Structures are given as structure tokens and as C-alpha cells.
Structure 1
Amino acid sequence: MSSERHDPAMQQAIQRSQQSFPFFWRELSWEYRRIVPGLDFAAIKLPFAVSAEAQAAHGAPAFEHMWVSDVQFDGHVLSGSLLNNANFIPELQSGTEVSAPLADLEDWMYTSVGVLCGGFTVQAIRAAMAPGERAEHDAAWGQPFPDPALCNITPYEVPAPKQPSRLSRLWKKAVAPGGLPFDEALRLAREKEHPMSENMRERYASDLKEQPDMVSAALDDGWTLLQRDALAGNLAPVQVLRQLGADAHNQRTPQGDNALELAQRMGWTRVVEALR
């Protein structure tokens, strides 16, 4: 473990990232269904061990912490492709496919309608910066952040910042999004379903009634629709599938999980109740 991960602020940031990760995956589950993308950016941060030789020869850290896009998750393992080149691990280049257990997750982040969600370790780093250094950091990211003491877990609890338009874009900076204290943001996220979940209920039910084989079919990756939505915490699709006879207990993913176990592991209380 690197010295960075021993820092109390960074430990808390990683803990918060893991605690709130289900909401990142829920958002991605809907993003992957959209015809027109709704997210400007979505990635997770993972640690990669640096060899003892590189540490000795170059004074390298024990781990490189790298952002990964095109994220997939099977209930156990995270996977995706690196967004940049490693400094001390030659085989890790931008675009390299990587994977790691969920326990290795250090951070997640996405932006939607000008609101940045997640980014807990980035906020911990920003909190230790002087204002000028923080401004340079944010400019390098090309993304305004909330106040370092605040966060967003979903973009639905704070108003989207009004962005400069027309000629004003030439001299006005993008407006920083609002944010909430972590405990409040997590509470609100837990209280509310994803807006697309309920909005698509009738359409989803209609489509499945026209294609009843899809209710229980294993898709190309071996997962059923019920298993996918149980993992993502999408209550309305789960309720529709259960009403149409989808199996929450006997059908299992290639990794060996049934829909109920996936929902329990992610802490989706209402989904668990619907599956029992």
C-alpha cells in the first residue's frame, strides 16, 4: 500500500468511493442503454503495483493510481481500459485492458449536465492545495469541481450550473457545480430511485410482453435482464420482470450469483424486498 493510502483524508476518500460505488454503477447501467450519451465522462481509479526494481532504480512509489474508462462490473471484478500511460509500469499504456476486484476501487467519477459526481480522492487532494494551485489543478482537468468539502453522488440533488453561452464563453469560466456534505448526499441518493427507472416502467413492460422469451433468457454474456437490473439497483425494471415471472433464485450468472445475491451485495434494500 502506498503512503498516499495511509493518509487519513485519502483513506476516508477511498472508503467513501467504495461506499457510494453502487450509485456509480446504477448510473452506468442507464448510460449503456441510452442512444444519445448522457454522461460527458465516466471512469474509476485503480491502484497498480510498481515493481521493486522500479522503486529502487527510480524512486518510484509502490503503486501507480490510474483512471480507467469503459467500465464493466460483474458483481466481483471491475474492468475497463486505461486513460493514460503509467510512469513506472511499461506494459500499462493508454487503452490497455485492465481488471481488479471491487475491493481495490479507489475512486469513481462522472459528469452530467455540468455536475461532477464522485471524485472523492481528487477532492482530498484539492483540499490540501492553496487557492492558486487548486485553480491550476482544475484548469488542467478542464472540469470545475465543487468545494473540496462537498460532493455529489448523483446529479439530481443539486441544480445544474448555468454555463456561459454565445460570446460570453470567450471570457467567462465554467461555473463550479454545487455539492452536499457526503452523509447528506448518500442519504438522498438512497432515498430516490433513478429517474429513468420509473419513467421507463410502462415502456419496459410493454416491450417484454411483446418479447416474453426475454424475461428469462440468458443474454450473450450469460446474464439475464433481472440479474443486470438487480446488480444496478433498478427497482422498476426488477418489479416488472418479477411480475412477468423472472427467476430471482435459480438462474445464476457465469460468476455464480443469482439476482437476489447481487442486490444484497450492493445494498439495494428495496430491490432485495422485491426479489424475495
Structure 2
Amino acid sequence: MSETKIFFADGEHPKMLAAFQQAQDTFKYFWRELSWEYRRIVPGLTIACVKVAFQQILDDPTPTVEHMWINEIDFDGFNISGTLINEPQSIDNVRLGDRVAIPLTQISDWLFAIGNQTYGGFSIHAMRSEMDEAERITHDEAWGFEFGDYDNVLVVSGQDINPENLVEHPMSINMRESLVEFIQNYPTELTARDDLGYTLLHRETIAGNRTSIEVLLAMGADKHAQTNSGHTARDFAALLGWNHLLPLL
């Protein structure tokens, strides 16, 4: 069996710290894509996961930090939940398969792939930038994905050819009539709330879906509705930096 080369990077390295911040700043695009993935009949994503910085105080008063991946992601606008898919090596307060919930500020990366083309993966690209060409090829082959240019990290599909996809997901536009028909058939969905008090308008705002929000508001959704924690849809748009939604809300 051939040997698999493992690459490590210092989590305190300036490039890595910048990567962590980029991941947090752009997580909204990951969630937008995943929110549509959950509605697809035929899956479109090859992988979708988030890297989290787990901490534990052991013998040393300085916390031990281990960065590990979670999948089966959910997001409420503040906290990300998911299932741990790594076996911890340095800490023992979480285990493989545990369901965890962490604030957005605790993630260190996100990654999704369509086919073999990756999006996000900022910490991965930070490591790749320190490798020579042969090492990058070995690294990418080990993952089985095409990571591309580490100086041009993509966050949405079609970004280079259709930069408007950064503003609006194509499925939001394409599903306009289906959403109209859905609300016409199930009008109570406009006011229905989940256990946290979120309405459909809240959820579509968190996912940044402008066309969906236009439809919901036109059909009578209450933009002043508050969650159990007192947040309106506009609060989430502002919090996540969906600036194109603020005039609507």
C-alpha cells in the first residue's frame, strides 16, 4: 500500500488566521448553497462540511485546540450545528459521531464541492500555498478534488463566468413560480413558525434568497415578525452581510 503524505500547518500562522477569518466572513455562501441542496431531489454536492476549532483545558492552562470537520450542517443565523466526522487526536471532550453546536465565530473553514470542483477551503488553500507543485498534486490527489488556484478561492458556482451568482443563487430565481404555487396551496406557511419562532421569511433571509423574499413579501409575509429571541428577518440580513436584502426588509 502506498504511503499517504500528511501536511500540517501552524494554526497561529498569519496565513492561517486570515483563512479562518475569510471562512467566517463567507460562510453565508456555504449555507446558501446547502439550503438549496436540502431541497434538491437529486443531490448536487459531492461534499459539504465545516471545520471547527474545538478547545479543551488539559494539563496546561492554555487550551488545547484541535480543528476537525463536521457535516450534516444546520444553521440558525447564529450557531452552526453538525456531526463530527473526525476522530479527535488531542482532546477527549468530543467524539467521532457527536452532534455539536458552535457559534459562527468558532469555525475555521468550510468546503463544498460540485463534482470534483471545490469551493471555500480557505485553510486548505493556505496550506497549499506553502507547498511546491509536486506536493500540491499529491495533496489534491489524496483529497480527490480539484482545488485550483490557491490565490483565487471560489465561493459560489459559476463565479468567474456569472459574478451575479454572488448576489443571487440561480435556484432562487428559477424557483420563483414554484414558490408562488406552494404558498397559494399552503397559505399558512407564510405565518407558520418552527420551535425557535422562525418563519419561512427568516429562513430565506438567512440563506440570502432575494427572489424568494420578494415572493413571500408580495404574498403577505410579515417582515416585522420576530423569532423567540426577538430577531426580525432584517436583523439576520444585517448580521450576515446580505446587504442586497436590506432595502426589501
TM-score, scaled to structure 2: 0.89
- Which residue, out of 20, 44, 55, partners 2:50? 44
1:267 aligns with 2:235: no
Q: Counterpart of 1:274 in 2: which secondary structure?
A: coil
Q: Quote the Cα distance in structure 1 between the aligned partners of 2:198 and 2:177.
A: 23
Q: Quote the Cα distance in structure 2 between the aligned partners of 1:224 and 1:258.
A: 10
Q: Counterpart of 2:146 in 1: which secondary structure?
A: coil
- Which residue, out of 7, 10, 13, partners 1:4? 10
Greater RCO, CA 8 A, separation 6+: 2
Tell me by how many angstroms 1:22 deviates: 1.1
Aligned to 2:142: 140
Q: Runs of at least 4 residues of structure 1 off by over 4 A?
A: none
Show CA shifts across 1:127-167 (max 9, x none). Answer: 111222222222221222112222111111247xxxxxxxx
Moved more, 150-159 or 94-103: 150-159
Are 2:51 and 2:70, in contact at CA under 8 Å, matched by a contact in 1?
A: yes
Amino acid at match of 2:21: Q
- Which residue, out of 112, 123, 134, partners 1:121? 123
* Closer/same/farther in 2, CA of residues 189 and 11 from structure 1, 3 Å limit: farther
Aligned to 2:102: 100
Q: Counterpart of 1:273 in 2: which secondary structure?
A: coil
Show CA shifts across 1:205-249 (max 9, x none). Answer: 111012111111113553211000011110111111101111111
CA root-mean-square deviation: 2.2
Q: Counterpart of 1:87 in 2: which secondary structure?
A: coil
Write 1 or 2 for the structure with the bigger share of helix. 1
* Closer/same/farther in 2, CA of residues 188 and 8 from structure 1, 3 Å limit: farther
Q: Quote the Cα distance in structure 1 between the aligned partners of 2:56 and 2:72.
A: 24
Number of corresponding residues: 241
Are 1:153 and 1:189, in contact at CA under 8 Å, matched by a contact in 2?
A: no
- Which residue, out of 158, 171, 176, partners 1:201? 176
Show CA shifts across 1:178-228 (max 9, x none). Answer: xxxxxxx9x7554x3100001010111111012111111113553211000
Q: Quote the Cα distance in structure 1 between the aligned partners of 2:72 and 2:131.
A: 30
Moved more, 240-249 or 150-159: 150-159
Aligned to 1:154: 156
Aligned to 1:29: 35
- List runs of 5+ in structure 1 lacking aligned partners: 160-184
- List runs of 5+ in structure 2 lacking aligned partners: 1-8
Q: Quote the Cα distance in structure 2 between the aligned partners of 1:42 and 1:16.
A: 17
Tell me by how many angstroms 1:107 deviates: 0.7
